[in-house]
Amino acid sequence: GAVVSQHPSRVICKSGTSVKIECRSLDFQATTMFWYRQFPKQSLMLMATSNEGSKATYEQGVEKDKFLINHASLTLSTLTVTSAHPEDSSFYICSAPAGGANEQFFGPGTRLTVL
């Protein structure tokens, strides 16, 4: 099946700094990727849809200036958490559709901890 990778798997940063998370489709091209946020023991919350070559589409309540998304190529989308604060600490997961029928392939996730 299709493989999606994320880097880094874990990151710890100081409050006020920015953190970039990469999501790559390793063996297929993805014109669309999705970014989710997952709080402990909760479901995935869709943050935004990343579109190759155009602006991302953000879900209601998600600050686009806070969570910058860039989909520069058919295999790479990046999420940058700007001026991170402790409340941004979470598990961030990306996905990309492949194989038809809207099946999503998920990255392994990135655990962000903001001190």
User: Contact residues for other proteins (CB under 8 A)?
Assistant: 1, 4, 6, 32, 34, 41-44, 46, 49, 91, 93, 95, 97, 100-109, 111
Q: How far is the CB of 90 from other proteins (least distance, A)?
A: 12
Q: How far is the CB of 93 from other proteins (least distance, A)?
A: 6
User: What one-character DSSP code corresponds to residue 41?
Assistant: T
Residue 86, beta-bridge partner list: none
Q: Which is nearer to other proteins, 16 or 100 (CB)?
A: 100
Q: Measured between alpha carbons, how far is 19 from 105 in angstroms, rounded to an integer?
A: 23
Q: For the CA atoms of the chain, what is the radius of gyration?
A: 13
Q: How far is the CB of 105 from other proteins (least distance, A)?
A: 8
Q: Which is nearer to other proteins, 67 or 105 (CB)?
A: 105
Per 3-state DSSP, what percentage of the chain is helix, strand, and coil (rounded to 5)?
Answer: 5, 55, 45
Nearest to 51 by CA among 77, 23, 26: 77
Q: Which is nearer to other proteins, 37 or 84 (CB)?
A: 37
Q: Which is nearer to other proteins, 82 or 106 (CB)?
A: 106
